[in-house]
Amino acid sequence: MASETPQSAFVLPPAVYSPELLDSVSYEIEQYLSWYRENRIHTTVGATAITEPDHSTETAQVIQSWTTGQPLTLSSLQSLLKYLRELKLPVAHVTLAALPNHTQRQQLVDWFRGIAGPHVLISFVGDRNLGGGVLVRTPSRVFDYSWKQKLIEGRSKLAEVVHRV
Amino acid sequence: MELYILGGLVVALAIGLVIQQIRIERTNRKLAELATKPKPVVVSEPTALELENKLKAAYEAKIGEATQAFATDLTSTSAKLSELVSRLTTDVIEKELDAYHKTLDGVRATANEAMEKIRAAVDEQRVELRKGMEADVAAEQNRLIERFDTKMGDVVSSYIAESLGGGVDLGAQMQYVISSLEAHKEEIKKDLYNGV
């Protein structure tokens, strides 16, 4: 078995950008660990092996980033799971007028991680009442650059326009 | 001696009294007889006619005098009465009219004073009411404007959202989104770092 990967060297892959994806990865690793233990018992007693559970690409990328090319061991997986469970990362909740597609998500994730580093999670929310623009909620602030907010801020101009009409 | 003299005087007086009493009774008796049997007066016919004519003339003269005096007195009394009634009537009417005018003036003054007070109160009330209404209207106007302004953003954004429906093109917005974030990059970065 390889030794445990230093946590400082671990970087969340860009594909795992949201708290939901991180929870999903943790869940899959937990399922994998459970399968691994049960399968080992089955192998020991000579029972039929249990089918290995599927896992997502993101989980594979996380495991790969954690092991850094070393062989996967039970203890390293347990360490990874423990690490992921205890991970407290800042989350930027990004609200747009619609849910972004993969490219747009990646563009925004790259931007956020470009300014704040890889250990930032981004949660995407679609709210068509915004009209357009973006609303970002960070741990202690709200940055509202939505069209709705622009309209509210420019209410005097809006009132003038309405009055002119 | 003296007793004999005194006795003689008393006897003389008693005799005198008896005599006088007797004379009085005789006189009374004669008078009674004269009363019961009046002595008829005999007047001759010419004398009776003359007396009657005189009495008639005297009676008519007295009647005429009395009538003339009564007429004169009645005329005078009537004139005086008319004058008195006229004066009384004039005085009463003047007094009544004067009192009426005074009362009317008093009533008019009171009414004017009351009217002035009412007018002043109404004016004051009108001013207060106007101020209150203006303040209420201004407050309501401000409230409506505030509400309008507050709701207008929601209305317009909802209108935009409804108009666009589900087909919001984020691709066209991404440049705006990224540039908005870039404009506040340091603030966002600082807050995210604080959360690390």
pLDDT of residue B61: 93
pLDDT of residue B128: 92
pLDDT of residue B118: 93
Query: What 8-state DSSP symbol labels residue A121?
Result: E
Q: B60-75 burial, b for 16+ CB within 10 Å, e for fewer? A: eeeeeeeeeeeeeeee
Residues in chain A within 8 Å Cβ distance of B193: 90, 116
Strand extents, DSSP E, A56-120: 91-96
Contact of B144 with chain A, judged by CB distance below 8 Å, is answered with no
Identify any residues that bridge with A133 across adjacent strands, giving them in sequence order: A146
pLDDT of residue B104: 92
Among the partner-chain residues A104, A145, A155, the one whose CB lies closest to the CB of B153 is A155
**Which of A109, A115, A130 to mutate: most B Cβ within 10 Å?**
A115
Tens-place pLDDT, residues A26-81: 999 999 889 888 888 888 888 888 888 888 888 888 888 888 878 888 888 888 89
Contact between chains at A151 and B187 (C-beta distance less than 8 A): no
pLDDT of residue A3: 43
Contact between chains at B192 and A120 (C-beta distance less than 8 A): yes
Tens-place pLDDT, residues B74-130: 999 899 989 988 888 888 888 889 999 999 999 999 999 999 999 999 999 999 999
Contact between chains at B161 and A91 (C-beta distance less than 8 A): no
Q: How far is A16 from chain B (nearest CA, A)?
A: 17
Contact of B141 with chain A, judged by CB distance below 8 Å, is answered with no
Q: Is A102 left (phi over 0), alpha (psi -120 to 50) or beta?
A: alpha
Please compute the mean of the pLDDT values over residues A5-24 and round it to a whole number.
80
CA distances from A121 to A21, A103, B70, B176 (A): 9, 17, 145, 22
pLDDT of residue B112: 93
pLDDT band at A94; cut points 50, 70, 90: very high
Q: B105-139 burial, b for 16+ CB within 10 Å, e for fewer? A: eeeeeeeeeeeeeeeeeeeeeeeeeeeeeeeeeee
Check if the beta carbon of residue A4 is closer than 8 Å to that of residue A76. yes
**Which of B157, B162, B169 to mutate: most A Cβ within 10 Å?**
B157
CA distances from B100 to B38, B89, B109 (A): 79, 16, 14
| Separation between Cα atoms, residue B195 and residue B126, nearest integer Å | 63
Residues in chain B within 8 Å Cβ distance of A140: 191, 194-195
Contact of B35 with chain A, judged by CB distance below 8 Å, is answered with no
Residue whose C-alpha is closest to residue A119's, from A93, A76, A87: A87
- pTM for this model (two decimals): 0.53
pLDDT above 80 for A19: yes
pLDDT above 70 for B166: no
Q: Give the CA count within 13 Å in the CB-facing half-sphere of A37.
A: 8
Tens-place pLDDT, residues A95-142: 998 888 888 998 999 999 898 888 889 999 988 888 788 999 988 899
pLDDT of residue B173: 83
Per the structure block, which two tokens stand in for B61? 């003269």
Identify any residues that bridge with A145 across adjacent strands, giving them in sequence order: A134
Check if the beta carbon of residue B152 is closer than 8 Å to that of residue A159. yes
Q: Which residue has the higher pLDDT, B137 or A159?
A: B137
Please compute the mean of the pLDDT values over residues B57-80 and round it to a whole number.
91
pLDDT above 70 for B157: no
Check if the beta carbon of residue A63 is closer than 8 Å to that of residue A107. no
The mean pLDDT of chain B is 86
∠ CA(B109), CA(B114), CA(B118), 5° rounding?
Answer: 150
